[in-house]
Amino acid sequence: MCKESDHRQWNRRDFLKTSGLVTGMSLLFSPLLSARPARFTKTSQVLQTTDRIIVIIRLKGGNDGLNTFVPLYDYSRYKALRKNIGLRKDEMVRLGKDFGMHQGLSPLQGLWDKGMMKVINGVGYNNPDLSHFRSKEIWETGVESHLRSSTGWAGRFFDGGGGKTSEVLGNLRGLEHPLIIRLDNEADLSFRGKDGEQSVSLTDVEDLYRIAQSGRKDKFPLADNTPYGNELAFLQSVSGKAMRFSETIHKAYKKVHTSSAYGNGEFAERMKTLSRLIRGGLGTRLYSVAFGDFDTHAQQPWKHGELLGQLGKGIRAFYDDLAKAGMADKVITVTLSEFGRRAEQNGSNGTDHGTAAPVMVFGGALSGNGFLGEAPDLNALDQDGNLKHGVDFKSVYASLLWGGFGAGDDVLGASVGEGFGVLEGLFG
């Protein structure tokens, strides 16, 4: 879509022409990197990344960023755009001088105060698509919005650098635990590599254990070297792996219990499971949890409040448990969503699909609390009334891979392409 904004030098055709270039692109769209070249060459010498874990919380449906972090610096304009659904001052928790956090997330204030929470403002991408389906696909595949890919950003990271990823994460073959675990059974292209799906879906540890243990325990007969035999051998190996994984997962899960107050509901249960697996020493380094439905087209105040309430409680309890185990600086958690929502409310006390939105990042690995990126400008909306993005989401991925796994340029390039550097000021 061509943008009419006269500030944009780049229309779509220009972008297509220059999309192979390294320099310049991220300077325009990622102002955080203003003084730095796009290719970021910091190595992992400072970070202890040998045992860090990344947790992705996917907020399904498009989380309304403006009501999650209310721009106090332009509060009157905000209230004008959201006559009914705009938050009152007593419905927010002040974070710094510029933003008020939705009170549903008030448990997170404890993390903020401990320097374990940051918010990256205005995360989005060029030529945004306002359909759930397509925008979700763009976020998951991690390529420019005019391109398609059958692999995902995380899948490509694990594919390589090939050997490079192994340098970073250690020996990835023959692991007794899954490489990536999704605590849901949703489709997610993020974890697809060149050989297919790399993540394992885990909804119930006990169920998995029970069903995997019901499989064949006797040794399999040796399969011969024919097409039939080869498929048999493959299936035999997956069968064995399923049994071993279920045992390792079950063992880690049973080692510890949760002691903090997660609240009720599916999200709480999933965060509890996550807490037990991590503190039980499972060894998996990347997890994903989907939570929603944040697609608040109508009756937003009640729905959004409910969801944020569960989100805040769950994340806070998760980090309380981790802190008790001395692991709070090892786990980096991020909340992502396929888009934010329209600046102006609609006629059903809700909001329609939008564009840029804030991303929350948690963990002791962060360099204190704070807001990164350009604060949303309610006076510079696009022709659809949507916020303009300042940070490309692929830079967020790059930052996670660097901060979580110490990944260097070469692997980052394979994952998110050239020109999306690590964000300054996120990690210590």
The CB-of-230 to other proteins minimum distance in angstroms stands at 9
The CB-of-278 to other proteins minimum distance in angstroms stands at 19
Instruction: Note if the bond before 373 is cis, omega within 30 degrees.
Output: no
User: Tokens 């939008």 correspond to what residue?
Assistant: 354
- Contacting residue, 215, 326, 368, 385, with other proteins by CB under 8 A: 215
Q: What is the rounded CA–CA span in Å between residue 47 and residue 405? A: 9
Q: Are strands 99-102 and 69-71 parallel, antiparallel or unpaired?
A: antiparallel
Exposed/middle/buried for residue 167 (C-beta within 10 Å: 0-12, 13-18, 19+) = middle
Q: Does 322 bind other proteins (CB under 8 A)?
A: no
Q: Does 178 bind other proteins (CB under 8 A)?
A: yes
Q: Does 3 bind other proteins (CB under 8 A)?
A: no
DSSP state of 33: G
The CB-of-365 to other proteins minimum distance in angstroms stands at 29
Site string for other proteins, 333-352 (x = CB under 8 A): --------------xx----
Distance from chain centroid for Cα 405 = 15
Q: Does 132 bind other proteins (CB under 8 A)?
A: yes
Half-sphere exposure of 363 (CA within 13 A, CB side): 23
Site string for other proteins, 184-203 (x = CB under 8 A): -x-x-x--x---xx--xxx-
160 close to 124: Cβ distance less than 8 angstroms: no
Q: Does 245 bind other proteins (CB under 8 A)?
A: yes
Q: Does 131 bind other proteins (CB under 8 A)?
A: yes
Site string for other proteins, 135-174 (x = CB under 8 A): --x--------x-x-x------------------------
Residue ranges in 18-57 that form contacts with other proteins under rule CB under 8 A? none
Q: Does 302 bind other proteins (CB under 8 A)?
A: no
User: Where are any strands of DSSP class E within 3-68?
Assistant: 53-59
Exposed/middle/buried for residue 226 (C-beta within 10 Å: 0-12, 13-18, 19+) = exposed
138 close to 391: Cβ distance less than 8 angstroms: no
User: Tokens 């500030």 correspond to what residue?
Assistant: 7
Chain residues in the site for other proteins (CB under 8 A) = 1-2, 12, 131-134, 137, 146, 148, 150, 178, 185, 187, 189, 192, 196-197, 200-202, 208, 211-212, 214-216, 218, 220-221, 223, 226-228, 231-232, 234-236, 238-239, 241-242, 245-246, 297-298, 347-348
